[in-house]
Structure 1
Amino acid sequence: MYHNGVYHLFYQYNPHGATWGVGNLSWGHSVSGDLVNWAALDAALEPTSPFDANGCWSGSATILPGGVPAILYTGIRADGEQVQNVAFPKNASDPLLREWVKPSYNPVIPLPADVPADFFRDPSTAWLGRDGLWRLAVSAKVGNAVGSTLIYRSKDFRLWERNAAPLQESRAAGMVECPDLFPVAEPGAEEGLDHAPRTGTGVKHVLKLSATDTFQDYYAVGRYNDTTDTFVPEDDGDDCQSWRRLDYGHIYASKSFFDARKNRRVLWSWANETDSQADDVAKGWSGCGWTPTGSGWCSGQSKRSRH
């Protein structure tokens, strides 16, 4: 996210080893003034509470009215249930937002009855609808079979209610992850659009999903209805694995944010490598970040930075 003149990058991080570890999974935190040069800070979130005892998994940041950021993230409880939690800066006036607090009223979204314990994760950046309610998207496998993107609404960012209809269903995909829904201008526009309630002439939406069956990211351009909270692709079919690939390299679990400094949307992805686990341990790190650059979404050349 971009907040008060500083770019903040949060990423999945194991502070106790070079490779992925369930019980140690935390949120690393780095800051930058230009998206190229980064300074690492202490972890923003660590598994210290009953609602995230087995790790602080993926999520998103949202800037609330008044300029206070909030983090929504998936926590895995000691019993293995995936739930959605919220965290806020301990000191909102700290320009680096170095410490975060997880309220005791977590989880804010418990595991739904029709979703298996380990298939409910990755809350998106929240957005305000024209009715004044917050929305967020969460990935789930509904009924042990359908890869769904669920929509939740809230008045206060604390109590959330599930929408009756999913934002999207991919029946050929057993599970989808890391949903990202955002507005884009019609062809010819040079600037990105913020994640505000935008519908109607001149605005379309992109829905990006990560499919666990193929370990690839797919996206479709279509129409989002903020009354029914549903998304209809223009011409790519209902199943995300028939959509356009975000990249034909080895990237996954991408996430975008609106860069208010340059009025553009920037997308980050995880570039997982093919090194062996022994090689990762020897070099002391595993995986790297990838982002397109340019004024438009997903345009220009790519730069890579390791985290």
Structure 2
Amino acid sequence: PMYHNGLYHFFYQYNPDGVTWGNGNLSWGHSVSVDLVNWFALDAALQPSRSFDANGCWSGSATILPDGSPVMLYTGIDARGDQVQNVAFPKNASDPLLVEWVKPEYNPVIPVPADIKRDDFRDPSTAWLGADGLWRIAVAARVHDVGGATLIYRSKDFLRWERNADPLYLAHAAGMVECPDLFPVSEPGVEVGLPASGAGARHVLKMSVMDTVQDYYVVGRYDDTADTFVPEDDDDCRSWRRLDYGHVYASKSFFDPSKNRRVLWGWANESDSVSDDLVRGWSGVQVRSRRRAHTVHQ
């Protein structure tokens, strides 16, 4: 999800050839809205078309650059079956609907690391700028002999990315985690921008845990020099607060500058059978929630 030039855009996992997940043809559906209630569906924004996403265009995130143009980072499953991180740009940034996207030939920008299994490396987050002027993103992974990890990568140009020595957070007992999300909150009376450190600055870390198929979040301290996060609650993310006690999973948030609020979208995978999905003609729904301003209430 993102807000750009007066329109809300929502990109979502979409199989153009069927009701359920396809074999290698997973794409990015694309809808736009002026009010987050009424939506107009556009053609798919990203579809498998290159060796670096030959087996599907999976989850990712939108980032608005300082010049106002958006850039996408997404996980592609390449021709070898590796999960790799790719970048995409709008073909015409002045198009208000952003209907066409370009995937540069230099993809993938982040190949799967040697210490991570080929299918345990995915879901790049929205990027943020550090005090050193470098962009950061968080990527979910399961590191050999360590456990579920949220890794930090830095870049100055969205082309060359370098992994931080330490992970943002380690979920030793939880196994593989997905869809990491890091955003700032503030103490009463203290304004905080995008992820930052300093007096009064606190952050929310959200992650999706595959073992439980639940989304969890916690308030903590983010060190933007070391790029590490220390939760204020239990270190086991499965004991953190839940976003929802139903089927909501793989959520993704974005900041809405038009109303000074953070909006979170979640995927509800329901509990129907595949045969029910086929009869109905669709599978899964999207739900959203929001909170105004950036204030933590304990």
Amino acid in the other structure paired with 1:284: G
CA contact (8 A) 2:116 2:141 kept: yes
CA contact (8 A) 1:81 1:117 kept: yes
Deviations 1:60-108 (A, max 9, x none): 0001121110000000012110000000000000000000000000000
1:279/1:82 Cα in 2 relative to 1: closer, same or farther (>3 Å)?
same
TM-score by length of 2: 0.95
Cα distance in 2, alignment partners of residues 22 and 297 from structure 1: 41
Deviation at 1:186, TM superposition (A): 1.8
Report SS of the residue matched to 1:241: helix
1:1-307 matches, within 5 Å, as 1-143=2-144, 145-187=146-188, 194=193, 196-234=194-232, 236-296=233-293
Cα distance in 1, alignment partners of residues 179 and 195 from structure 2: 21
CA contact (8 A) 1:26 1:45 kept: yes
Amino acid in the other structure paired with 1:142: V
Deviation at 1:160, TM superposition (A): 0.1
Listed as ranges, the gaps of 5+ residues in structure 1 are: 300-307
CA contact (8 A) 1:52 1:77 kept: yes
CA contact (8 A) 2:187 2:295 kept: no
1:87/1:278 Cα in 2 relative to 1: closer, same or farther (>3 Å)?
same
Deviation at 1:144, TM superposition (A): 5.3
Deviation at 1:202, TM superposition (A): 2.6
Q: CA RMSD in A?
A: 1.7
Deviation at 1:295, TM superposition (A): 1.9
Cα distance in 2, alignment partners of residues 118 and 243 from structure 1: 26
Report SS of the residue matched to 1:130: coil
Deviations 1:236-280 (A, max 9, x none): 222211211111121000000000110110000001111110111
CA contact (8 A) 1:217 1:251 kept: yes
Q: How many residue pairs are counted as aligned between the two chains?
A: 295
Cα distance in 2, alignment partners of residues 278 and 144 from structure 1: 39
CA contact (8 A) 2:184 2:294 kept: no
Report SS of the residue matched to 1:118: strand
Deviation at 1:293, TM superposition (A): 3.5
Listed as ranges, the gaps of 5+ residues in structure 2 are: none
Deviations 1:155-199 (A, max 9, x none): 11110000000000000011000000000122578x9x65x2432
Cα distance in 1, alignment partners of residues 177 and 295 from structure 2: 21
Identity of aligned residues (%): 72
CA contact (8 A) 2:185 2:295 kept: no
TM-score by length of 1: 0.93
Cα distance in 1, alignment partners of residues 148 and 120 from structure 2: 9
Cα distance in 1, alignment partners of residues 79 and 295 from structure 2: 39
Deviations 1:107-135 (A, max 9, x none): 00011000000000000000000000000
Cα distance in 2, alignment partners of residues 268 and 22 from structure 1: 25
1:187/1:246 Cα in 2 relative to 1: closer, same or farther (>3 Å)?
farther
Report SS of the residue matched to 2:17: coil
Moved more, 237-246 or 247-256: 237-246
Cα distance in 2, alignment partners of residues 127 and 133 from structure 1: 8
